[in-house]
Chain A
Amino acid sequence: MSSEKQSWSATSPFAEMTDKMLKAGKLLSEIKDDDVDVGATPKTLVMRRDKVELFRYTPLVEQKVKTPVLLAYGLIGRYTMADLQEDRSLVRSLLGQGLDLWLVDWGQPNRTERWLTIDDYVDDYIHAAVERVCRETGHDKIMLLGICEGGVFTTCYAALHPDKVKGLVLTITPIDFHADRDDPDTHHGFLNLWTRSLERSDIDKLVDTHGGLPGEFMSSVFSLMTPMRSLTKYNVDLIDVVDDEAKLMNFLRMEKWLADRPAHPGEAAKQWLKDLYQDNKLVKGEFELNGRRVDLSKLTAPVLNVFALNDHIIPPTCSRALGVHVGTTDYSEIELPGGHVGLFVSSKSQGSLSKGISAWLAARD
Chain B
Amino acid sequence: MENAKSHTDALSDTIAQWSEQWRRMADVSVNAGETWSSSMLPFIMKRAAESGFGMTAGNDLAEAIERMAKGPRLADVMDFDRKLANLTAAWNELQGKLAAYQMVAAKPWMRAAEQFGARPPDEKVRSGGWRAQLGAWNELANEELIANQRTEEFLVVQKQLLQAATEFRARQSEISDAIAAMLGMPTQRDFDEVTRQLTELRREVRALERRVEAGSRGTT
Measured CB to CB, the residues of A under 8 A from B are: 13, 50, 111-116, 120, 124, 186-187, 190, 193-194, 197-199, 202, 205-206, 209-211, 224-229, 232, 236
Contact = CB atoms under 8 A, between A and B. Distances in A.
B170 A193 contact: no
Interface residues on B, range: 20 to 34
Contact of A227 (B142, B158, B170): B142
Contacts of B156: 197
A105 to B, nearest CB: 19
Contacts of B134: 236
B192 A111 contact: yes
Contacts of B107: none
Given A120-B203, A227-B145, A111 B166 contact: no
Contacts of A202: 159, 162-163, 166
B7 interface: no
- Of all A-B residue pairs in the complex, the 4 with the closest CB atoms, nearest first, are A197-B155, A115-B199, A228-B142, A227-B145
B155 A193 contact: yes
Specify the main secondary structure of chain B where it touches its partner: helix
Nearest to B173: A209
A97 B200 CA distance: 42
Contacts of B203: 120, 124
A190 B159 contact: no
A197 B160 CA distance: 11
Contacts, number: 72
B173 A116 contact: no
B150 A186 contact: yes
B166 A209 contact: yes
B104 interface: no
A277 to B, nearest CB: 14
B138 A210 contact: no
A129 B17 CA distance: 77
Specify the main secondary structure of chain A where it touches its partner: helix
A124 B162 CA distance: 33
A212 to B, nearest CB: 11
A111 B155 contact: no
Contact of B149 (A113, A114, A224): A224
Contacts of A205: 163, 166-167, 170
A186 B146 CA distance: 8
Nearest to B137: A228
Contact of B195 (A111, A120, A198, A225): A111
Interface in B169-216: 169-170, 173, 188, 191-192, 195-196, 199-200, 202-203, 206
A50 B145 CA distance: 42
Given A13-B131, A111-B195, A199-B159, 15 more contacts: A114-B192, A114-B196, A115-B200, A120-B203, A186-B147, A193-B150, A197-B155, A198-B162, A205-B167, A206-B166, A209-B169, A209-B170, A211-B188, A225-B146, A232-B138
A199 B166 CA distance: 13
Nearest to A207: B166
A50 B195 contact: no
A116 B147 contact: no
Nearest to A204: B166
Nearest to A199: B159
A50 B202 contact: yes
15 contacts: A13-B131, A114-B192, A116-B199, A124-B203, A187-B146, A190-B150, A194-B158, A202-B162, A205-B166, A211-B188, A225-B146, A227-B141, A227-B146, A227-B149, A232-B138
